[in-house]
């Protein structure tokens, strides 16, 4: 079985060259040995050959299932055995390869995807995690204000809220470290942070307002912006009398609002319109959200790095080569990382 050995060497070589993180590759000769290893230790991936000396790959899959051992598996069959591969897929393997047709690029890509997916919390969409990994490739800290800009940035197809909730998940599972930044107004109906504030007249609800220094002519009750009084000798535009002593017959109000319909008031109603769902709400009705900034933990750096494609530094694997004297392609891959969840 020279071919199988060659396949194995090729696979190992290309994994060593292209895996962006350090990993341990353990190869075993028999199904029994493989089962023992997977039972004893947590592995990230199993490369499983259909032809094992003591059982078939399918039998091994069934045993794993019976023992409730969950491990992502890539199944390897020889040419013409696609039927077996279909059976294996039914038993839950993630992918299968046909011997002699192994595309090393695809293999590495699949392994990376599988490891990223199995490492991520189940609620996290791997696509979003990949996107986050890309964001972290240019900066070690993500500030939420930057994310806000990224949402409107045409390249990002991931909604801001999904990004936020994924970041939260990743922080809860120790991929990221989260530090509170500041609190913001959020839409009470959809939770979006993209609410546009506007000021309203408390009397008529008009949103067209003017603001300025106002005078009130106490003797006749007329109120208007100072500029309306300042013609000539500060004459009241209503009763045409001259303003005399500040605080006696007239008073000054520093910042008053006037609506389109002529209402004067000191404090407009602060209201918001959600740009996501269109909901209108006041400050009292608004939801409040605390935003965080995020930093990758060591664990997160290792895991998320897998999600990045070519633009990453390849860490040299400095482990001595493992013995590869078996003619069976049955590799168990263990990434050299912290496996705590």
Least distance CB 237 / Zn ion (angstroms): 8
Tokens standing for 173?
Answer: 């599972």
201 is a site residue for Zn ion (CB under 5 A): yes
Contact 201, 256 (CB under 8 A): no
Contact window for Zn ion (CB under 5 A) among 62-70, 84-92, 235-243, 305-313: 235-243
Contact window for Zn ion (CB under 5 A) among 36-44, 120-128, 176-184, 268-276: 268-276
Site size toward Zn ion (CB under 5 A) is 21
Least distance CB 259 / Zn ion (angstroms): 3
Binding residue (CB under 5 A) for Zn ion from 104, 125, 206, 234:
206
Residue placing its CB nearer to Zn ion in the complex, 23 or 257? 257
Residues of span 135-194 touching Zn ion by CB under 5 A = 187, 189-190, 192
Q: Is 76 exposed, middle or buried (0-12, 13-18, 19+ CB in 10 A)?
A: buried
239 is a site residue for Zn ion (CB under 5 A): yes
238 is a site residue for Zn ion (CB under 5 A): yes
11 is a site residue for Zn ion (CB under 5 A): no
What is the Cα–Cα distance from 321 to 185, expressed in whole angstroms?
56
286 is a site residue for Zn ion (CB under 5 A): no
Angle between helices 298-307 and 126-136 (to 10 degrees): 110
Residues of span 244-263 touching Zn ion by CB under 5 A = 259, 261, 263
Least distance CB 335 / Zn ion (angstroms): 41
Cα of 191 vs its chain's centroid, Å: 16
Contact 249, 243 (CB under 8 A): yes
Report residue 220: phi and psi, to 5°: -115, -10
Tokens standing for 196?
Answer: 């546009």
Contact 252, 215 (CB under 8 A): yes
3-state DSSP assignment of residue 246: strand
200 is a site residue for Zn ion (CB under 5 A): no
Binding residue (CB under 5 A) for Zn ion from 274, 291, 306, 333:
274
Identify the CA nearest to 27 among candidates 42, 9, 1.
9
279 is a site residue for Zn ion (CB under 5 A): yes
Binding residue (CB under 5 A) for Zn ion from 12, 184, 220, 287:
220
65-69 own/partner pairs: CB under 8 Å, 24+ apart: 65/91, 65/92, 67/35, 67/39, 69/35, 69/38, 69/39
Contact window for Zn ion (CB under 5 A) among 62-70, 106-114, 228-236, 302-310: 228-236
217 is a site residue for Zn ion (CB under 5 A): yes
Contacts to Zn ion by CB under 5 A: 187, 189-190, 192, 201, 203-204, 206, 217, 220, 222, 236, 238-239, 259, 261, 263, 274, 276-277, 279
């Amino acid at each position: 079985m020279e071919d199988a050995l060659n396949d194995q060497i090729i696979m190992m070589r290309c994994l060593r060259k292209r895996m962006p993180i350090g990993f341990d590759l353990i190869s075993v000769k028999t199904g029994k040995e493989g089962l023992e290893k997977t039972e004893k230790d947590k592995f990230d991936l199993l490369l499983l050959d259909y032809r094992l000396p003591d059982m078939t790959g399918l039998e091994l899959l069934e045993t794993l299932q019976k023992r409730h051992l969950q491990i992502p598996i890539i199944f390897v069959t020889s040419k013409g055995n696609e039927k077996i591969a279909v059976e294996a897929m039914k038993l839950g393997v993630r992918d299968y390869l046909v011997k002699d047709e192994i595309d090393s690029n695809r293999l590495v890509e699949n392994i990376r995807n599988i490891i990223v997916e199995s490492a991520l919390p189940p609620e996290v969409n791997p696509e979003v995690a990949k996107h986050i990994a890309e964001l972290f490739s240019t900066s070690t800290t993500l500030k939420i204000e930057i994310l806000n800009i990224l949402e409107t940035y045409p390249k990002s197809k991931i909604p801001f809220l999904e990004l936020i909730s994924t970041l939260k998940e990743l922080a809860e599972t120790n991929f990221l470290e989260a530090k509170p930044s500041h609190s913001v107004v959020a839409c009470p109906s959809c939770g979006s942070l993209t609410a546009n504030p506007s000021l309203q007249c408390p009397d008529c609800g008009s949103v067209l307002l003017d603001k300025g220094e106002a005078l009130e002519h106490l003797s006749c009750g007329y109120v208007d912006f100072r500029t309306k009084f300042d013609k000539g000798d500060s004459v009241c535009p209503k009763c045409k009398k001259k303003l005399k002593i500040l605080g006696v017959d007239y008073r000054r109000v520093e910042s008053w609002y006037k609506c389109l319909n002529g209402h004067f008031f000191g404090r407009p109603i602060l209201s918001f319109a959600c740009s996501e769902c269109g909901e209108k709400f006041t400050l009292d009705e608004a939801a409040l959200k605390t935003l965080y900034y995020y930093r990758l933990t060591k664990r997160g750096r290792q895991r998320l790095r897998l999600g990045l494609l070519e633009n990453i530094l390849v860490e040299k694997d400095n482990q001595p080569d493992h013995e590869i004297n078996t003619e069976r392609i049955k590799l168990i891959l263990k990434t050299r990382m912290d496996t705590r969840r």
